[in-house]
Amino acid sequence: MRITSIAGLLLGFFACQVLANLFFRYGSGTPGRWWTGFILGNLIGASSILFFMGLQRLMRDRTALVLAICGAGSSVAVQVAVSLVFRQPIAMGQYAGIAVIVCGMVMMLMFQNSNPT
């Protein structure tokens, strides 16, 4: 139950972050739609805080892990979504950046219980 709750909250957080950034991109790239993109992006982006707070509540002892997964995961999800929706190819350097971020997320998950002392 706890794993499915965490997965649901993560998906909700990523979805809100992706939608907010897509609205920001739409508003800044479409003449006359700046305010629309700004308002919708902020409304949806602000609602992602609820998902983030839910993750913090479920994973009280893993604050650094929540911050790392949410921050890194949303940046990868946003980059891929913007590329797909606006049909902008991802450069080789961006692919390398995505790979480094994903490797860092995997390492955070693998070594979350290790104690350096």
Question: pLDDT for 64-98, tens place per residue?
Answer: 888 889 999 999 999 999 999 999 899 999 999 99
Cβ-based neighbour number of residue 67 at 10 Å: 14
Cβ-based neighbour number of residue 30 at 10 Å: 11
Q: Distance between CA 55 and CA 41 in Å, rounded? A: 21
Instruction: Please determine, for residue 116, whether its predicted confidence score (pLDDT) is greater than 70.
Output: no
pTM of full prediction above 0.95: no
Question: pLDDT for 12-55, tens place per residue?
Answer: 999 999 999 999 999 998 889 999 999 999 999 999 999 999 99
User: Among the residues of 30-91, which ranges form H helices?
Assistant: 34-58, 63-85
Q: What is the DSSP letter of 91?
A: P
How would residue 117 be classed by pLDDT, with cut points 50, 70 and 90? low
